[in-house]
């Protein structure tokens, strides 16, 4: 492998691009400005290309530098992840598990699960990456996560999917809403209604699987990312929403909102723990996924359904 640059050059490129100056990058990398300037010249000589232009006091990437920066950051992230995995593989006692879910509300079940997990692996940190909630799959495939909790994973041969729990989707509305008189809600009942969904709409099960194929047009579609806000808007009569029954159970019990089954037979979905198929799986990560899949939904996921009829072993790879 005839690679001209070293890791120190990649860190230099990232730091200067981030800080906008050699001085700022030197402070960030805990070295001297002169040493960093020398490394930059060395990198440019090796590549026979300018990486930065100096505009006043600011260092600006050239097209060549911009192209290299993307690759540099991917390499540095992969190296960091590999180092963390090696650390976690050290007797299985330490390390890091990076976790996200595709729904903010799902984080409520973490405390009891983490309490049990940390009894077995007290030195393993479980880091919640809430910023990846809206792009869980991309973050997982980019190597920025170790496990993602998903209800609608894509068909991807790089993913290992373990079913963990099922839940029921219901239609939520204000008690005085006319649809509250029905025993169940059909897709056509959404016609002319203001529908509240989780963004993005391109991934909305309600829109993409039920309403759009049937040419059913709501009056309006509001994209709201937080379940708490969806509940408040629904209770105020500002729209109706398809939500997980467990996520609105307290409000439904108090009478602030009304829920009805979606379709005559109801709508059930399965949640999965997704990991990368080819990643080195540490004992702590394997145990964490196994703990997720254990049949104790009432403990971790109040109001959900067990998976006695669903295989606990990972699903086969899909193309």
Report angle CA 63, 64, 65 to the nearest 5 degrees.
90
**How many C-beta atoms lie closer than 10 Å to residue 166's C-beta?**
18
1-12 tens-digit pLDDT = 578 899 999 999
CA 212 – CA 104 distance, rounded (Å): 26
Whether the CB-CB separation of 241 and 172 falls below 8 Å is answered with: yes
Report angle CA 31, 32, 34 to the nearest 5 degrees.
135
pLDDT band at 75 (very low <50, low <70, confident <90, very high): very high
235-287 tens-digit pLDDT = 999 999 999 998 899 999 999 999 999 999 999 988 899 999 877 677 888 88
Can you give the pLDDT at residue 20? 93
| 77 CB-near residues (< 8 Å, 6+ apart) | 142, 143, 144
Nearest of 31, 20, 28, 24 to residue 53 by alpha carbon:
20
CA 68 – CA 4 distance, rounded (Å): 12
pTM listed for this prediction: 0.61
- Which of these ranges, 51-65, 200-214, 295-309, has the smallest mean pLDDT? 295-309
Backbone angles phi, psi at 166, to 5 degrees: -125, 155
CA 52 – CA 306 distance, rounded (Å): 57
Can you give the pLDDT at residue 136? 87
Q: Work out whether strand 94-101 and strand 123-128 pair parallel, antiparallel, or are unpaired.
A: parallel
Burial 222-257 (b: 16+ CB within 10 A, else e): bebeebeebbebbbeebbbbbbbbbbbeebbeeebb
216-244 tens-digit pLDDT = 999 999 999 888 999 999 999 999 999 99
- Which of these ranges, 30-34, 107-111, 306-310, has the smallest mean pLDDT? 306-310
CA 96 – CA 115 distance, rounded (Å): 16
Burial 90-100 (b: 16+ CB within 10 A, else e): eebebbbbbbb
297-311 tens-digit pLDDT = 555 555 566 555 444
């Amino acid at each position: 492998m005839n690679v001209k640059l070293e890791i120190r050059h990649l860190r230099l490129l990232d730091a200067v691009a981030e800080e906008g100056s050699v001085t700022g990058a030197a402070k960030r990398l805990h070295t001297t400005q002169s040493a960093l300037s020398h490394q930059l010249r060395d990198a440019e000589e090796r590549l026979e290309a300018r990486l930065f232009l100096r505009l006043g006091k600011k260092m600006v990437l050239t097209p060549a530098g911009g192209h290299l920066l993307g690759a540099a950051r991917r390499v540095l992230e992969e190296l960091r992840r590999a180092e963390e995995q090696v650390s976690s593989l050290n007797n299985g006692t330490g390390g890091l598990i990076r976790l996200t879910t595709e729904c903010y509300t799902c984080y409520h079940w973490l405390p009891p699960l983490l309490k049990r997990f940390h009894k077995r692996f007290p030195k393993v940190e479980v880091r919640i990456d809430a910023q990846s909630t809206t792009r869980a799959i991309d973050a997982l495939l980019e190597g920025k996560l170790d496990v993602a909790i998903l209800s609608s994973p894509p068909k991807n041969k790089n993913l290992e999917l373990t079913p963990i729990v099922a839940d029921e989707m219901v239609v939520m509305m204000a008690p005085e809403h006319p649809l509250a008189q029905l025993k169940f809600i059909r897709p056509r009942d959404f016609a002319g209604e203001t529908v509240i969904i989780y963004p993005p709409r391109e991934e909305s099960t309600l829109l993409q699987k039920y309403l759009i194929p049937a040419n059913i047009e709501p009056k309006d579609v509001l994209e709201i990312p937080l379940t708490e806000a969806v509940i408040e808007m629904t209770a105020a009569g500002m729209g109706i929403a398809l939500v997980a029954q467990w996520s609105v159970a307290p409000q439904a019990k108090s009478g602030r909102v009304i829920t009805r089954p979606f379709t005559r037979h109801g709508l059930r979905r399965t949640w999965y723990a997704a990991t990368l198929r080819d990643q080195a799986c540490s004992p702590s990560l394997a145990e964490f996924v196994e703990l997720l899949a254990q049949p104790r939904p009432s403990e971790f996921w109040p109001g959900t359904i067990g998976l006695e009829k669903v295989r606990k072993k990972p699903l086969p790879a899909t193309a």
